[in-house]
Structure 1
């Protein structure tokens, strides 16, 4: 069954606090702890994660932790302060006192996070021990999908299988032309929701631009270059700044797209900034934002929720190109051309884990998306077939997905081997 635009937005466009991979770890631990009446007496936390979760949570800042990083710290905070009812904002109540306590747990080796090399995608299995009880929680399928909870060997909650749930039965159409047509069914409530995402992500970008120490300052430096009024560089600066502060661990949510906050930054901010530049109406911007999210998810469902390819630049970059092309007056064919240019340009960009340099990739994806949209509305077209590009857009996406799944099959394992060689302290203060 084809999903409605309203259901799609509620499922795929959600607020997320911090990187969603350690967020999933914290969520899993927090939910397990909620089964324990003596939560204050947790003796140990043991977490097993997929290669994808392990890689992406290894060196990224945790919200509210003043730049401290890592899955182990997220797991400790999940036990100490996490609330599963907050979903991907599970750690929003974190204070400095909680962080210091969590650091102590990690130092005392009360918390461990290990990688299961046979697992990929979203998989987090947490076991929390007190002197008298053991609680277990599995998060799988998507970052906030609690699949199973157990207490002392007894199942207390189990979600429907992904194949039988209503949410998973409802899918985007297999034809991009049909997905494109979904933007015509937005109502005022949908528009309000989409524009709230602009407000959230702009707020995080402003932190990165402020120079207040909660980022490397990459976006702020780019703004100096874009002072002449180049909208493409402004887009790049704002997107870089937002991802920079988010990867540092700023304690502010962003509106995510297709399960990723950085995807949300790339899918939303370029469209919003260009819309302001073009003095587009509220409805025009909302429609372009909806197309950006739809296009991002159209590609992500083929790449996989987590992948060796950088989805922020490839999938969300293509999505942003679609939205900006629509704003500039492009129709369906121009939109597909713009997206194809992004795929041809960035399809091989490597995901080497979530960390500060993701800001560079988010900035690259957003800027290249803007250029692709401009070229497409100017009538510039790539000859096809060539490289990953096919005469059919859907086949181009499948080609990129095949490069991802077959050609880059062992990339995550290689990356983890490289990253595990470095001592914890060399990764920017990982706790």
Structure 2
């Protein structure tokens, strides 16, 4: 792919837009970000809070620990963290600078302030409205469609900023419809590594650090440790275990940041850690690792474009298939192996549902990475799934489209039922 090609610059922009740092699960952090902005607009500490959130936001915030809060969980905790200690200029690292005094103030505020949480249904899957009030003054902030997308800022009836909020409208971001497997393959084989090196180096550093912390500490159900203890320490096991360990830490209060993919830290970990482990095992050059990571990340983003940011379809599946493509590149450097690994992986685990962010995400990550490795080994052994096998279509692009349809349209009612079960 030539540097002057529109897709060359677009793919670099997509990597830079998606592979950004975040501290903690991104939906609670989006709540904290909105609350921090509202607090800055209000100009004083509020005495009451109204939090409105779409069902998918409620699902993803309900059970996960908010970082830098001394293990507080849930929607009020996320918003209050943003109010007390948030800095909206830091976006998804909005609550990265928190003191123990801040945490004590959060706990006191949670106990004494009036906090109202309401479901929000304005037709958007990703939707947050935070209204802070002090006496007769108020500030209202809305984030919609993706985690840092402010669509409304209002104070005392005056609209300070407003833009249209339509479902899946990601104005301001590079057009993801430019992604396809053949062009992704062309790009990762021809890209000047210097153009992608910095963003991928950060992903390696951040996501391996939280993986290592997950194996050192005691987080959630310690899925990473359980896998290593149960199945040994070969590369196939390490790829699963170390990815799971990163999620163990992230879902259960670790204060280390991660580099996300498609708005998700778990997906960012899944795209990166297994590929990095395979690169170490195969003694790959830095250049080959960067190309493999670019492939893994772009394949995951390509899948998520059809599914959407939030769905009842587990994002670890998309990221695991992405990781499988990166592993296939490391092992074979063969396009046919890459695309068949993706299709096989999707055929195996596309039934995993998303029931919010919590400890079991680590196990789902391990299952998705395992499916990707199995998908590669199948094709190495002359085996594959074919078009017509369930939701698998003829060809990788048609299969990705069918998975997108399943995740976006087919699982809408599943998502609603999951939310009802979780909130009863």
Q: TM-score with structure 1 length normalisation?
A: 0.91
Distance in 1 of aligned mates of 2:389 and 2:241: 32
Contact 1:259 1:305 in 2 (8 A): yes
Q: Indicate the residue corresponding to 2:3 in structure 1.
A: none
Cα shift readout 1:141-167 (whole Å, capped 9, x = no counterpart): 211111221111111123577899873
Match of 1:175 in 2: 180
Query: 1:354 maps to which residue?
Result: 357
Counterpart of 2:46 (choices 28, 42, 50) is 42
Match of 2:400 among 397, 400, 404: 397
SS in 2 for 1:128: strand
In the TM superposition, 1:259-408 aligns within 5 A as: 259-312=263-316, 314-408=317-411
1:221 aligns to 2:226 (yes or no) = yes
Name the residue aligned to 1:194: 200
2-structure distance, mates of 1:186, 1:371: 31
- Once the two structures are superposed, the pairs formed by residues 120-131 of structure 1 within 5 Å of their partners are 120-131=124-135
SS of residue paired to 1:410: helix
2:191 alignment partner in structure 1? 185
- Alpha-carbon distance between aligned partners in 2 of 1:116 and 1:360, rounded to the nearest angstrom: 30
1:18 aligns with 2:21: no
* Residues 11-20 or 146-155, more deviating: 146-155
Q: Cα RMSD between the aligned structures?
A: 2.1
Query: Which residue does 1:33 correspond to in 2?
Result: 39
Matches within 5 A, 1:197-216: 197-211=203-217, 213-216=218-221
Partner of 2:244: 240
Q: Is 1:51–1:119's contact at 8 Å kept on the other side of the alignment?
A: no
Structure 1 residue 74 corresponds to structure 2 residue 78: yes
**Structure 1: which 4+ aligned runs deviate by more than 6 Å?**
160-166
CA distance in 1 between partners of 2:321 and 2:344 (Å): 8
Q: 1:326-354 CA deviation, whole Å, 9 max, x = no partner?
A: 11114222211100111111111110111
SS of match in other structure, 2:49:
strand
Supply the distance in 1 between the matched residues of 2:252 and 2:313 (Cα, whole angstroms): 22
Alpha-carbon separation, structure 1, partners of 2:169 and 2:420: 37
CA distance in structure 1 between the aligned counterparts of 2:254 and 2:310, rounded to whole angstroms: 23
Query: Shift in Å at residue 185 of structure 1?
Result: 1.7
Match 1:57 to one of 51, 55, 61: 61
- Tell me the distance in 2 between the aligned counterparts of 1:159 and 1:119: 16
Task: After superposing the two structures, state which structure 1 stretch, 156-165 or 236-245, moved more.
Answer: 156-165
Q: What TM-score comes out, normalization by structure 2 length? A: 0.92
